[in-house]
Chains A and B, each alone.
Chain A
């Protein structure tokens, strides 16, 4: 399992780099990261299942100005690794799935704290860069940026390691403590979770024109889904 954690740390670090410091190509999105973690820990499909729900949770929290949104990349590292491990041990039943999604907020908030810390350390790097430029060292700009990038990627790798470890521990140690019957009670909360994601999309896209469109589409797709289930 050591190589799996190493791979999770390296690829997680790269995904974290895409989150703020470089490119923003959306490689850090929960759908991508959770699927990746699922593949690393042995079940791509289980990771993707978590990613499908996690992807939309935090969309309404925009990275505007100095505000830092919750770390949905971290939540995906936790959820993807936990789901893959659970699927190969106790089985990823509906209740375990719900529990993992609910617990993922801890990773999201912890990652946000780490992100704030990195940006505070970067203040010192930026000041040192400016001081070096004052002394006539133009290359300090390149060194300063490299230092900032390194800090982002190392923090990302450490966070990935910690969240993947937490995911594996939860799946191997915590979930088996509850029997299948008591766990199933937990599943009653599952319908709320995709609707929370849908509300995030609705919040982002809400205008006078789109409100009616959202609910009309929802009703139409709901009707079609229920109809085909009845017909099937």
Chain B
């Protein structure tokens, strides 16, 4: 069996960071995936150029998933290609595995990375940036990338154990629970951010009733914006509307 060398394995690991290097509307991450897995294919089919070409073409087919979660599929695809090259597995297993997993991993990854981890890291960074900008930037990058790079590393290693290893790892990681935890943290920090700014704008004058009115107004504004987002109104549209009001104020 043509086992992958450490050098090729490291090359594939490094190349996964360029999965979206040629992102396009037709094959999406197809060129990036073929590029990432190429060192392994060159090794498995070292003296079989025709089969190497067929293998590369397999990976130039449509592929799209959340980029960090792509590491799991990439690792497992390397292992499957290894088995195919050794004549131990059917070539169709690779396509079936990739197509079967990219959608669900994309959904899990989008929800975790874009819907929970990034908002949590962003709002933590923003709050700390009020103390010092560099502290905020450091916090944003630290909170996001510790989870991001760990999941990439573990996901790739699990994938390299084969498709079964990848599925087991996904169960063990329980990303749905982690997503809920990050969302809770983001909600706490986001609430703190909203309260801090609303408090700053409340002004020195007026008593508790004035402050309460400000708080209710701010909470209503957050709710209104949220409803607008849910109705697919873009933040840019809201900003352009506010700019229009601003121009009217200047005109007056």
Instruction: Report B-chain residues with C-beta under 8 Å of the C-beta of A89.
Output: none
B189-227, CB under 8 A of A: which get 1 and which 0?
Answer: 111111111111110100000010011001101111110
| Alpha-carbon separation in the docked complex, A31 to B28 (Å) | 28
Contacts of B236 in A (CB 8 A): 70, 105, 108-109
Q: Which of A46-77 contact B (CB under 8 A)?
A: 47-48, 51-52, 55-66, 70
Contact: A142 with B191, CB < 8 Å? no
Interface residues of A in 124-182 (CB under 8 A from B): 125-127, 129-130, 133-134, 136, 138, 141-142, 144-149, 152, 178, 182
Q: Are B18 and A21 in contact (CB under 8 A)?
A: yes
Nearest B residue to A102 by beta-carbon distance? B243
Q: Is the CB of B119 within 8 A of A52?
A: no
Query: Which residues of B sit under 8 angstroms from A102, Cβ to Cβ?
Result: 239, 242-243, 246
Q: Interface size (A, Cβ < 8 Å)?
A: 105
Please, what's the 1-or-0 string for B112-132, where 1 marks a CB less than 8 Å from any CB in chain A? 001110111111011001100
Determine if B52 and A52 form an interchain contact, defined as CB atoms under 8 angstroms apart.
no
Docked CA distance A120–B22 (Å): 10
CA distance A136 to B50 in the complex (A): 8
Which residues of chain B are near A197, meaning CB under 8 Å?
Answer: 126, 193
Q: Tell yes or no: B27 within 8 A of A by CB.
A: yes
Is B34 in contact with chain A by the CB < 8 A criterion?
yes
A 186-224 binary contact with B (CB < 8 Å = 1; else 0): 101111111111111111111101110111111111111
Q: Is the pair B25, A209 in contact by a Cβ cutoff of 8 Å? A: no
Q: Given A52-B130, A64-B110 in contact, is the A221-B195 Cβ separation under 8 Å?
A: yes
B238 shortest CB reach to chain A, Å: 6
Cβ–Cβ contact A195 & B229, under 8 A: no
Residue of A nearest to B184 (CB): A210
Assuming A189-B242, A213-B184, A222-B202, is B190 touching A202 (CB within 8 A)?
yes
Q: A31-B126, A35-B133, A198-B222 are in contact. Are A217 and B192 (CB under 8 A)?
A: yes
B194 touches A218 (CB 8 A): yes
A52-B129, A59-B119 known; A205 vs B184 contact (CB < 8 Å): yes
Given A58-B235, A198-B193, do A205 and B187 touch, yes or no (CB 8 Å)?
A: yes
Instruction: Tell me how far the C-beta of A134 lies from the nearest C-beta in chain B, rounded to whole angstroms.
Output: 7
Shortest Cβ gap from B148 to chain A (Å) = 7
Contact, CB under 8 Å: A120 / B229: no
Contact (A210, B23) CB under 8 Å given A102-B242, A129-B31: no
Contact A56 B20 (CB under 8 A): no
